[in-house]
């Protein structure tokens, strides 16, 4: 078994676009895909609605009427075999509908469904193609106040809230964003520093070009990953920074088996190279992010994971238990899904 230096060259995109009905998910997915490459396959679960854009974009489509995860996997594999560059899944939410039906509303039913869900995620992550997946969002209405000539008027505004999909699914993607009814894409999660926290009106060429540059360009700091992964550091001579933050992050990362690449990307989003360059509260944020990532598939709702972390890790640390011991104990307690009773 051999190891070689990791390089970021010609990687494949994993992009999730969520939004309420009418927010432009399908159009945006095709616009982005068309600027990423030329051979596009679209897996259509929306009764052929994507074909309405056939005069605007050049793509091939496969309509699914059976939304079982295995059918998605079959379509993904067929697209790969046929040599497509980009696969658009429109939409991934139907797989979730199928999973809910297969679980039958029973807690023990998820024991059979979770492996199917995992196989679909693995097929997407392991694909040799760029993957763009759309997801429906739950629709809510807000009453928006408008001021004109000193007079107030009120109008309803449609917004999309959380995606209709398994909780925490955004962790599976490189980039995730939400489209609103004005077709503005807001980036909510990104491993690409150039687009972090940005917004895009009618995302297309500009957005795709930034993604292409990120996917093709090697790291600007070739020594950071290897250096951070294999060495312990002494604290900088800065009285405002807690010592041994490098070692603290490394110990937790190893315990959680959290990818070092994601730690480096998180640090780069803060414009630093090492944990010791950050304040303690920012390291606390990173530790929490790693822990909740580990717990994402062990709870039915991300709020349960957050509450469990607060109750079993944060409070334990406050009581004097070492952080690494508190996290390890918490991991042992939630190794199997936690049943949350609602009064």
pLDDT of residue 342: 38
Same domain, 188 and 325: no
Question: Which residues of the chain fall short of a pLDDT of 70?
Answer: 8-10, 97, 99-100, 103-110, 138-146, 148-168, 217-243, 335-343
Same domain, 242 and 162: no
Same domain, 200 and 243: no
Which residue's structure tokens are 């979730």?
Answer: 96
Structural domain harbouring 191? 14-216
Last residue of a domain, one of 161, 190, 216: 216
pLDDT of residue 9: 65
Whether residue 19 lies inside any domain: the answer is: yes
Same domain, 190 and 52: yes
Distance separating alpha carbons of residues 193 and 27, to the nearest angstrom: 25
pLDDT of residue 218: 45
pLDDT of residue 85: 95
pLDDT of residue 321: 87
Last residue of a domain, one of 216, 250, 276: 216
Which CATH number covers residue 146?
3.40.50
If one counts the domains in the chain, the total is: 2
Over residues 245-283, the pLDDT tens digits come to: 888 898 899 999 999 889 998 998 888 888 888 888 899
How many CB atoms are located within 10 Å of the residue 275 CB? Answer: 27
Whether residue 60 lies inside any domain: the answer is: yes
Q: Give Cβ neighbours of residue 168 (< 8 Å, ≥ 6 apart).
A: 296, 297, 302, 305
Q: How far is CA 88 from CA 36, 76, 92, 163, in A?
A: 12, 10, 10, 17
Q: Give Cβ neighbours of residue 271 (< 8 Å, ≥ 6 apart).
A: none
Last residue of a domain, one of 216, 248, 263: 216
Closest CA to 268 of 206, 211, 214: 214
Whether the pTM exceeds 0.75: the reply is no
Same domain, 126 and 168: yes
Same domain, 149 and 265: no
Same domain, 201 and 241: no
Same domain, 85 and 195: yes
Over residues 194-249, the pLDDT tens digits come to: 898 899 999 999 999 999 999 886 444 333 344 344 443 333 334 344 447 888 89
Same domain, 172 and 31: yes
């Amino acid at each position: 078994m051999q190891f070689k230096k990791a390089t970021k060259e010609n990687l494949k995109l994993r992009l999730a676009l969520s939004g309420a009905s009418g927010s432009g998910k399908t159009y945006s997915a095709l616009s982005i895909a068309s600027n990423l490459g030329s051979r596009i396959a679209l897996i259509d679960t929306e009764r052929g609605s994507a074909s309405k854009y056939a005069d605007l974009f050049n793509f091939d489509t496969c309509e699914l009427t059976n939304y079982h995860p295995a059918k998605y996997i079959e379509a993904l594999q067929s697209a790969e075999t046929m040599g497509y560059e980009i696969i658009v899944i429109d939409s991934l939410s139907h797989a979730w509908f199928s999973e809910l039906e297969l679980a039958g509303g029973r807690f023990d039913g998820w024991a059979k469904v979770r492996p199917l869900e995992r196989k679909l995620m693995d097929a997407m992550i392991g694909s040799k193609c760029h993957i763009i997946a759309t997801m429906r969002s739950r629709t809510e209405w807000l009453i928006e106040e408008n001021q004109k000539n000193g007079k107030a008027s009120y109008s309803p505004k449609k917004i999309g809230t959380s995606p209709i999909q398994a909780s925490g699914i955004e962790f599976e993607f490189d980039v995730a964003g939400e489209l609103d009814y004005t077709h503005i894409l807001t980036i909510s999660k990104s491993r690409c520093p150039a687009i972090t926290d940005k917004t895009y009106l009618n995302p297309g060429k500009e957005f795709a070009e930034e993604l292409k540059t990120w996917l093709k360009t090697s790291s600007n700091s070739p020594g950071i990953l290897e250096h951070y992964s294999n060495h312990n550091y002494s604290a900088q001579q800065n009285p405002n920074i807690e010592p041994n933050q490098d070692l603290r992050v490394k110990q937790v990362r190893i315990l959680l088996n959290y990818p070092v690449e994601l730690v480096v990307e998180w640090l780069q989003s803060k414009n630093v190279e090492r944990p010791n360059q950050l304040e303690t509260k920012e390291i606390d944020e990173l530790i929490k992010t790693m822990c909740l990532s580990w717990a994402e598939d062990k709870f039915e709702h991300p709020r349960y994971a957050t509450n469990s972390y607060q109750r079993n890790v944060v409070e334990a640390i406050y009581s004097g238990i070492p952080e690494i011991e508190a996290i390890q104990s918490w991991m042992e307690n939630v190794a199997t899904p936690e049943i949350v009773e609602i009064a």
